[in-house]
Amino acid sequence: MKKLIIGLVSLAMVLGLFFVPLLASAQTITVTLVPSPTEPPELNPIELLRTIITWIFGFLIVVVVLMVLISAYLFVTAGGNPEQVGKARNWLVYALIGLAIGVLARGLVALVLQILQQT
């Protein structure tokens, strides 16, 4: 089971590398061609952070859906085998725990961003 979890985490990290160019192009940054010494370029780190969090959360949702589909497949093909049913149940539990942690993390980030914008 540990090899499976390590494999899934490794796969998620490798697939995450494919999203790096998309994350870089997701935020538009306005930079003047001739920078003025008195006016810095307009960079909004809060909006950049929101964009990154949105992409990560979307990726999490895709992974959770895939895990639920794998769990459903294992349930259907179990054929009454208790070991296979237990494996399917574990996949489903891990998917739901991952979703809960992701939702809580996104809420925490939203709370911190709200606090930072008020100051």
Each residue of 39-86: pLDDT tens digit?
666 777 777 777 888 888 889 999 999 999 999 999 899 888 999 999
Say whether pTM exceeds 0.75. Answer: no
Q: Which residues contact 65 (CB under 8 A, 6 or more apart)?
A: none
